[in-house]
Amino acid sequence: MIIYVVKEGDTLYQIARRYGVDLQKLIDDNQITDPDNLVVGENIVILADLISYTIVRGDTLYQIAKRYGISLQDLLEANPQISNPNQLMVGQVINIPVPSAKLSSMEVNGYVYDTIDAETLNEVLPNLTYISIFSYEVRPDGSLSSLNDQTIIDRALAQNVAPLLTITNIKEGGSFDSDLGHTILNDEQVQDTLIRNMIDTMQSKKYYGANVDFEYLYPKDREAYNQFLRKLTAALHPYGYIVTTALAPKISADQQGTLYEAHDYKAQGEIVDRIILMTYEWGYLFGPPLPIAPIGPVKQVLDYAVSVIPPQKILMGMPNYAYDWTLPYQEGTAASILTNVQAVEFAREKGVSIEYDTESQAPYFTYIADDGKEHIVWFDNAQSIEARLKLVDEYGLAGVSYWTLNNNFPQNWLVQNALYNVVKVL
């Protein structure tokens, strides 16, 4: 795999010719909607085992090998026709072997809403181990809200993707609710009812396991949450179900804030089968413009997490969206939400270049809106996806979890599948 960054004057035809790959394959692999109008800074993922290179004046095999990150010996082996490595001819075409980027195998979870369209679902399913359908909202009496999930489950099972029943303490018609969480976690009868309803639903709909996403819990409910998870796993494991949880991105055990204090990394790492770390939202909807998942803060969370949770239980969170902020930022104002694909299309429409922040390992661009105000868009591209996916291998994690997959990002799968084999549990 090669990630090519578009430069001024580039055309897709030139890129395809330069690397000796089929033009239509580049268009299809990257699902490029406007092949004749590339954006400076845009990423093009090139999937090839061998690429062609045309010798120019001054080239040496050593320089070429260094440029492409391969050994001189590998370069020579790919070109047995070269009889004298010290005598290259201008215009001579040689083969450049592309090193296999495969690091290992990993598990991949994807959250989806039940509104996901059939085409998107079919595109994302082959790339997943688990699919978590969001969400069954737990009511104060332990009953569950309804969810239009059967079609998603059936299609997932047909592609050997394991569906996970997701429960939340979201108040129906509202958002995550601390009082609702307190009621669930401190009433044994409510918990018994909830667990029975979960088992009935999982059996009737053929779920593989459960995902618990309880957020904004009162700090005083920390141990009650741990106890509920112990009770839930004790009830579900005999049926062969796995239990996973989603946790806020903490960098220490005593991190303050309602989002963090009731999430006990060490205890949950001992209790459940997988933990999804929500390693995103540094740049968030109502916050100041920042990269959504800057690699430095993500690594800080992982550094703490692997110190108290077995790494092989951790799924690192991956955002699948972009934010567009108006500048100068005014506290309390909301960004606009874009997909990563829409972000590139927007840069193309505005005629601006995409920049790449090497510190955060994230792309961004600025533009002037019709009202004359400056905007900044932070998003993900193939480069930033690759940088964070490599952390799975670096930290020995189980894999990743995407929020959310209702909008497909084709380049994401090109990079993921070039780096890892996706584990299937079915």
> So which residues are the catalytic ones?
215
Residue with tokens 């990002």: 409
Which amino acid makes up residue 312?
Q
Q: How many CA atoms lie within 13 A of 235 on its CB side?
A: 18
Q: How far is CA 13 from CA 98, 115, 352, in A?
A: 20, 38, 21
With vertex at residue 158, the alpha carbon angle to CA 154 and CA 160, rounded to the nearest 5 degrees, is 115
- Reported as type and span, the H/E element at residue 103 is none
- Outline where 159-264 has alpha helix (H): 178-185, 188-205, 222-236
Token readout for 85 is 């490595």
Q: How far is CA 248 from CA 3, 215, 403, 404, in A?
A: 31, 8, 13, 16
- CA proximity to 144, closest of 131, 133, 156: 133
Residues in the chain: 426
